[in-house]
Amino acid sequence: MKNDKNIIQILWGIVLTVTGILVILQIPEKFNQMGDIAPNNIFAKLCFYGLGILLILGGLKKVIIELKSTKNKPSLTDKA
């Protein structure tokens, strides 16, 4: 059960990271589609880039923490 929880947490971290990357990659395209509405709206761009960066960092942090916790815990088959 604990191992399943770790796998789910690692997958969730990967999903967060990929979502953040996709957000950052989509920003120029979405602002070009908006045209005259917000061509030079720097504040909106900064907010979206910040959101993408937070998603990437949060996902990476979750993956790293989960991987470290699985390395430090002995498995049931290990004998002391």
Give residue 55's pLDDT. Answer: 97
Give residue 52's pLDDT. Answer: 96
Give residue 32's pLDDT. Answer: 80
**Which sequence spans correspond to the domains of the chain?**
2-70
Place of tokens 């815990």: 73
Give residue 1's pLDDT. Answer: 58
Give residue 72's pLDDT. Answer: 74
Q: With a cut of 50, which residues of the chain have pLDDT below it?
A: none
